[in-house]
Amino acid sequence: METAAPRETPLNFENVGLLHKDDAHPFIQEFWLLGRYHGHLYDTEGSDGDVSGFESRRIRLGFQARLFDRLTLHAQAISGSDFDPTYNGFTELWMRWKFTDAIQLTVGQQKHRFTHDRNVSSRYMSTMERTMFTNMMGLDYTPAVTLSGRVEKLDYYAGIFSNATGRDMGTAFTELNAGASLLAAATYDLGSALGTDSAHFYGSFLHSDLDPNATHLNRFNNAVSGALILTEGPAALITELTAGFGGLRGDAVGLNIQPSYFLTDTLEVVGRYQVAAARQENGLRPQRRYESPAGVFDGDFYQAVYLGLNHYLVGHRFKVMTGVEYAKMDDQDALTLFAGVRLFFGPDSSAPFPGNKMLKGRW
């Protein structure tokens, strides 16, 4: 996982994409080009079929600019999987005004940061996919207005989100014709209070209208999550419990336990155990990639075990990832093998997740 430090390199790869930086400039202090490419091979053998192939999983290109020392503009255009279509709208298109470190207002298409699992950017993930419970909730990018900031050891984030989006983001933003959601999250730095090098708690809350036209945030009326993120030398551990209440498929709860260990400065082994249960029959949905196409259907009890090995060539900016995951939904199962490459250029994320802060400036 993302919380231990790959080896420093003599080249400053953190500045790839930086076209301008001058804190004394009266108008524009920074201008970045940014991009992301994630591609991998996969092979899944399931209860009722096999699927395999190569997928260009994420392709993004955009820019970020800091103006007047307080205004940040951010845009990321996205391609569909395997570049189909080549242009598929924007994942992120927002502007942020920084009143102080404690008060920042962001308006535009932005990310739902419910659960620590979702909060961590795909750039810094150390598993090939997020957990089943996170993915079935419909967390993505939609128009929103959010407040965020840092007060001493607490990072907070809260806002109102549209429950749908598309290429015409203006409609989703102004008409809210698919309902809206309220989301709040906070990260608290526990320091060495638990006897480890670092400890953080991430908690989040979600309330959703569940409008029939919703395409996002459409699984539960209310949901809560709590995560403890620990690091000790080359080892790290994430433990997160998530629960959802209401909705057409009723209540459900999921637990994610994710340990990792750096064998060398650049070689990391990652494990993960997921377990989830639903109150109603077919209240859980398997991973729509790989598991569903291989014949794993909805159920009410899910388990999955993942083991991966990651090689950080330039930290998270250029890494090779391999992994194997065995998943079982009721009496159906699937075994998936992964091997892929992930790279990005541009500024580091400013989101309040501990892993990024621990890595920043170390490669």
Q: What is the CATH number of the domain that holds 306?
A: 2.40.160.10
2 assigned to some structural domain = no
1 assigned to some structural domain = no
3-state DSSP assignment of residue 83: helix
Q: Could you give the number of structural domains in the chain?
A: 1
What separation in angstroms does the CA of 336 have from each of 2, 114, 124, 302? 22, 26, 21, 15
Residue 120: domain span:
13-359
pLDDT of residue 353: 61
**What's the average pLDDT block by block, 10 residues per block, for the chain (363 residues)?**
47 84 95 96 93 94 96 92 81 96 96 94 94 94 95 96 74 66 96 92 94 87 96 93 94 97 93 97 94 95 98 93 98 97 91 52 31
β-partners of residue 247 are: none
pLDDT of residue 110: 94
Instruction: Kindly report each contact of residues 241-249 with a partner whose C-beta sits within 8 Å and lies 24 or more positions away, as own/partner.
Output: 242/115, 242/117, 242/133, 242/134, 244/137, 244/219, 244/220, 245/220, 245/221, 246/210, 246/220, 246/221, 246/222, 247/210, 247/218, 247/219, 247/220, 247/221, 248/210, 249/219, 249/278, 249/280, 249/282, 249/283
Distance from C-alpha of 67 to C-alpha of 31, rounded to nearest angstrom: 9
pLDDT of residue 175: 55
Distance from C-alpha of 341 to C-alpha of 318, rounded to nearest angstrom: 7
Please list the alpha-helical segments (H only) found in the chain: 116-119, 132-135, 169-175, 354-359
144 assigned to some structural domain = yes
pLDDT of residue 169: 58
β-partners of residue 320 are: 311, 341
6 assigned to some structural domain = no
8 assigned to some structural domain = no
pTM over 0.85: yes
What separation in angstroms does the CA of 120 have from each of 172, 244, 258, 355? 25, 20, 13, 8
pLDDT of residue 275: 98
pLDDT of residue 1: 47
Contact of 86 with 79, CB cutoff 8 Å: yes
* DSSP codes of every residue in 173-223: HHH-TT-EEEEEEEEEE-TTTTSSSEEEEEEEEEEE---TT-SSS-S-SEE
Contact of 43 with 52, CB cutoff 8 Å: yes
4 assigned to some structural domain = no
123 closest CA partner among 342, 314, 309, 306: 342
92 assigned to some structural domain = yes
pLDDT of residue 215: 85
3 assigned to some structural domain = no
